[in-house]
Structure 1
Amino acid sequence: MNDVVVAVCAVLLLTGAVLAVVRAERGPSILDRTVALDIVLTIMIAGGALYASLERRTDIVPVLVVLSLVGFVGSVTVARFASIEPAGEGRVRTREEIAAEEAERRRLEEADTRGDRRDRGEVR
């Protein structure tokens, strides 16, 4: 019975870690990535606690406490920097957004070279 519980817990932790890594990869904002990586760290701590309880080892507990403190300090630091950052500045743009911005910039440059005021939105 004990092996079944440990196996179920390990599968749940692994599933959560995979989903959190996917969230960290997709973003789109720095805060999304921070929360996802904080979840990964929490899952690592839970995995360490699962191992410590399975092997009846108490010497791992200080390591888990230090990991939790590092995670807390890291999250608070990122949140502090994100709070003073201008809106949209820390956002990672997708390839489609970059391509659309580049196409708009080129369109405006071409309109500027032709002297076409309608394309730039300067119709009188």
Structure 2
Amino acid sequence: MTWVWVTAAIMTTAAAAITMFRLLAGPSTLDRLVAVDTLIAVIMCGIGIWAAYSLDSTVTYGLTALAIISFVGSVSVARFRVPDVKEPHRRDHR
């Protein structure tokens, strides 16, 4: 059964590393926002794996709080985001 926990830890670490690359290399703020959301989801998976491994259910409160905070943060950033590139000045041709 130990190989299951080791495999889960390796896969979670690989997912976090790939997500961090996307976070650092993302060309736009929306790419970085998606990477942050994905990283939070990977962290939540890691906490869930730890809860299953240690048979400790007290960390599930942290999962709930992290889910709520990440949702509110993502919605607020998406709502009030400033575009990366300004639109060229439009001239009204009358």
Q: CA deviation at 1:86?
A: 4.2
Query: What residue is the counterpart of 1:13 in the other structure?
Result: 12
Structure 2 residue aligned with 1:56 = 55
Matched, 1:40 2:39: yes
Task: State the distance in 2 between where 1:59 and 1:72 align.
Answer: 21
- Cα offset for 1:46? 0.6
TM-score by length of 1: 0.65
What amino acid maps onto 1:35 in structure 2?
V
**For the Cα contact (< 8 Å) 2:29–2:84, is it kept in 1?**
no
SS in 2 for 1:28: coil
Identity of paired residues, percent?
31
- Which structure has the larger Rg? 1
TM-score (norm 2): 0.85
Q: Which runs of 5+ in 2 are unaligned?
A: 87-94
Q: Partner of 2:73 in structure 1?
A: 74
CA-based RMSD of the aligned residues comes to 1.3
Moved over 2 A (4+): none
CA distance in 1, matches of 2:83, 2:34: 19
Aligned length: 86
1:49-85 Cα shifts (integer Å, max 9, x gaps): 1011111111111111001111111111111012xx3
Is 1:88 matched up with 2:85?
A: yes
